[in-house]
Copies of this chain bind each other. A is one copy, B any other.
Amino acid sequence: MPDSPKVIAASSLAANPPTQNHLLGALSTEVQQRLFPHLELVSMPLAKILYESGDTLRYVYFPTNCIVSLLYVMENGASAEISVVGNEGIIGVALFMGGESTTSRAIVQSSGYAYRLLGQRLKDEFNLHGELLYLMLRYSQALITQMAQTAVCNRHHNIDQQLCRWLLLSLDRLTDNHLVMTQELIANMLGVRREGVTEAAGRLHKLKVIEYSRGHITVLDRPKLEKLSCECYAVVKAETDRLLPYKAIPSATQKSAALHHQCKHTLYL
């Protein structure tokens, strides 16, 4: 097992309070007090696979500053991204929806950290009080919206529009305008050829919307990116904001800060 605990760097913990995840931050102090002591900060390196299609899930993950893609991989190896999860969400909804596994893969698309929680701890909390469950369900509804819109987008929109949508979804989950991501990987996510992404990215570059080089992309003009994107981005954004009007809590409150230090000080790599 690669799950050997390591002593966490104090700086990592300090830079990644649990409340940086919108869902964890939106919980009442009471629930936070019960839950936070069971959270474990884990490193989320690029391309790490949290689970494969069919795996029995043990943990749910609450990203603080990483991005995880839910990816479906077909029998012939072709793939398509189903949805993307950052600090607004949770990975592993199948654990509380039932079935304990999914037909997709969860893979880190942008490195960072996440808090993980044993599925059983989550369920224990569900049984104590409805608050956490209801929040998880609202997030699941937002996830459903994103999946549905992905299906529509795959049917009707061209690569240029989808690339814009994809960049915006990533941007919303990052603190700056810089992505570490090759065109090859973007192509895997969108389920298109790498060359198609190269051409679309070239056009965006010509329009001075982005600049990029060897696995690094910088967004220069976000408003223009939104104009060039299909409606799918805005639809998902609006619905997510409606369902989850929570923002990250950048500087933790006194109380949250105290709870924060109750998280297990171990780092799982």
Using a CB–CB cutoff of 8 Å, the interface residues on chain A facing chain B are 70, 72, 74-75, 78, 80, 82-83, 93-94, 96-99, 102-104, 134, 137-138, 140-141, 143-145, 147-152, 154-156, 191, 231, 235, 239, 242-243
A-B contact list, 27 entries, CB within 8 Å: A72-B149, A74-B152, A78-B156, A80-B152, A80-B155, A80-B156, A82-B148, A83-B148, A93-B144, A96-B137, A98-B134, A98-B138, A98-B141, A99-B138, A99-B239, A103-B145, A103-B148, A104-B148, A140-B140, A143-B144, A144-B147, A147-B147, A147-B148, A147-B151, A154-B154, A154-B155, A156-B191
Count of this chain's copies in the oligomeric assembly: 2
Secondary structure at the A interface, as helix, strand, loop or mixed, is: helix
CA distance A149 to B150 in the complex (A): 11
User: Which residue from chain B places its CB closest to the CB of A140 in the assembled complex?
Assistant: B97
Q: Which of A78, A104, A137 has the most CB of B within 10 A?
A: A137
Asked if A82 and B151 make an inter-chain contact with CB atoms under 8 angstroms apart, the answer reads: yes
